[in-house]
């Protein structure tokens, strides 16, 4: 608690703004991946290039999904804490 007292705590408004910004950012990333996937398959390319691009985009998409899952878990903890605080 001594270490925490040295830092200024965020307000609920700041946390809400971060949540909104994070959701917009994740949606923007998902849209960008979708657009890249569409553009990656245009034009004449070798099968190896297509496979490589698909694999890279799959990896990026999977990474974004894991980040979104972690964000959702953290947000659920915050919501639970707010609910518990209101109960008290």
Q: How confident is the model at residue 70 (pLDDT cuts 50, 70, 90)?
A: very high
Listed in sequence order, the residues at least 6 apart from 60 whose beta carbon sits closer than 8 Å to its beta carbon are 33
pTM of the full structure: 0.76
Q: What is the mean pLDDT of residues 73-80?
A: 91
Of 9 and 8, the one with more pLDDT: 9
Q: What is the mean pLDDT of residues 11-16?
A: 86
Q: How confident is the model at residue 52 (pLDDT cuts 50, 70, 90)?
A: very high
d(CA 30, CA 26): 6
DSSP 7: S
Q: Which of 28-32, 38-42, 59-63 has the lowest mean pLDDT?
A: 38-42
Instruction: Give the residue among 59, 77, 66, 87 at the shortest CA–CA distance from 19.
Output: 77
Round the average pLDDT of the chain to a whole number and report it: 88
Query: What is the DSSP code string of 21-88?
Result: HHHHHHHHHHHHHHHHHHHHTSS---HHHHHHHHHHHHHHHHHHHHHHHHHHHHHHHHHHHHHHHHH-
């Amino acid at each position: 608690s001594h270490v925490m007292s040295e830092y200024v705590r965020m307000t609920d408004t700041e946390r809400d703004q971060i949540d909104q910004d994070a959701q917009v950012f994740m949606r923007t990333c998902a849209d960008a991946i979708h657009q890249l996937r569409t553009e990656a398959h245009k034009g004449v390319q070798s099968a190896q290039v297509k496979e490589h691009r698909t694999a890279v985009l799959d990896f990026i998409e999977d990474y974004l999904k894991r980040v979104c899952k972690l964000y959702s878990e953290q947000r659920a903890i915050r919501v639970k804490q707010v609910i518990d605080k209101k109960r008290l």
